[in-house]
């Protein structure tokens, strides 16, 4: 008779295998037979990463190939694209939260937060070729590509509002410039991290998160012409054309805004209405 512990291990592996297989089938992905899932030319999504969330649940990171476009990063030819996090086989590929990723021709991708990882599967180079072919329009489904557009990740020092840079500015630094906030709320987010939310007037707000015992700005936003500007002089009320002139093509268009990204995954978003900037947000994540 087999040991009970061994049987339990086999059962768990079977559950994970069949759950994963069912998930892949539900999402319309094709297996390469070696643990990787790649989209063929007539499919819209490509598996970038998969992580177990328990014996019956996986989280799949899926690249929407229709969002892929050619760009540049520090002189390198790269592809920019939107990746969705899907956690339930009943969900569609676009039901989860999405983030902007940068892909390199060697199968490495740059994720929000600054990490570099290899594309999941047995052949990351093959997956990268699918991505670059789709972005350049050389695949049979190339008409889904946005085409070749030059887009560059912004230097971190260019992402700031009113002298406040996300990820580096501390409460002490903010107080030294703007004094005590008009309102301050605090608590713990859904991941258990301590945060503080500061507001000045009704058009300037900052979110601080605690990491390793240190509070720092995670996001800053302005929603009115209150005198605060970006390092390149853009403010609420600036023209959309002026933003494009100063910062170039956006990383991805998103919900009627110009959405840029920094090298460490920091978002820099200009809200628009009738061709004018109505809000500016910087940090993680807009």
Non-local CB neighbours of 204 within 8 Å, separated by 6+ positions: 162, 220, 221, 222, 226, 228
Tokens 């990882």 belong to 117
Residue 29 makes CB contacts below 8 A (sequence gap 6+) with 37, 38, 39, 43, 45, 47
Q: Distance (Å, rounded) from C-alpha 54 to C-alpha 34? A: 22
Tokens of 180: 């005590």
Q: In 3D, which of 15, 43, 47, 45 has the Cα closest to residue 34?
A: 47
Starting at the edge strand that comes first in sequence, how are the strands of the sheet with 108-110 ordered? 45-52, 58-73, 76-86, 98-103, 108-110, 116-118
Which pair of tokens denotes residue 201? 């007037």
Per-residue DSSP letter, 119? P
Those residues with Cβ within 8 angstroms of residue 18's Cβ, 6 or more apart along the chain or in another chain: none
Specify the pLDDT at position 17: 37
* Separation of alpha carbons 158 and 18, rounded Å: 47
All structural domains of the chain with their residue ranges: 18-136, 156-283
- Quote the pLDDT of residue 110: 84
What distance in Å separates the CA atoms of residue 27 and residue 165, rounded to the nearest whole number?
39
Write out the chain's pLDDT in tens, 286 residues.
445 444 333 333 333 333 445 555 545 556 655 555 555 444 677 888 877 665 556 777 888 888 888 888 777 888 988 888 877 554 566 666 777 888 999 888 887 766 788 887 667 888 888 888 888 876 644 444 444 455 567 887 899 999 999 888 999 999 999 999 999 999 987 667 799 999 999 999 999 988 778 899 989 999 999 999 999 999 999 999 999 999 988 876 656 788 887 766 688 999 999 999 999 999 865 5
């Amino acid at each position: 008779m087999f040991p009970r512990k061994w049987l339990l291990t086999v059962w768990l592996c079977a559950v994970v295998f069949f759950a994963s297989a069912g998930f892949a089938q539900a999402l319309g992905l094709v297996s390469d037979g070696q643990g990787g899932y790649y989209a063929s030319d007539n499919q819209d999504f490509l598996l970038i990463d998969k992580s177990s969330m328990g014996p019956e649940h996986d989280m799949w990171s899926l690249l929407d190939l229709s969002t892929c476009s050619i760009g540049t990063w520090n002189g390198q030819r790269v592809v920019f694209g939107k990746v969705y996090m899907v956690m339930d086989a009943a969900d569609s590929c676009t039901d989860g939260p999405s983030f902007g990723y940068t892909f390199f021709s060697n199968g490495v991708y740059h994720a929000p937060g600054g990490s570099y990882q290899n594309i999941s599967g047995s052949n990351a180079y093959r997956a990268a070729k699918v991505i670059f072919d789709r972005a350049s329009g050389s695949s049979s489904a190339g008409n889904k590509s946005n085409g070749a557009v030059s887009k560059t990740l912004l230097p971190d020092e260019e992402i700031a509002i009113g002298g406040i840079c996300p990820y580096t500015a501390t409460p002490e630094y903010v107080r030294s410039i703007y004094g005590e906030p008009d309102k301050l709320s605090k608590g713990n987010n859904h991941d258990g991290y301590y945060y503080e939310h500061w507001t000045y007037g009704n058009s300037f707000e900052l979110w601080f998160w605690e990491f390793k015992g240190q509070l720092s700005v995670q996001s800053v936003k302005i929603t009115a012409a209150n005198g605060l500007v970006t390092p390149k002089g853009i403010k609420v009320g600036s023209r959309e054309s002026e933003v494009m002139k100063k910062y170039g093509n956006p990383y991805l268009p998103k919900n009627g805004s110009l959405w840029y990204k920094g090298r460490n995954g920091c978002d820099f978003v200009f809200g628009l209405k009738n061709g004018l900037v109505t809000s500016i947000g910087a940090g993680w994540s807009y």
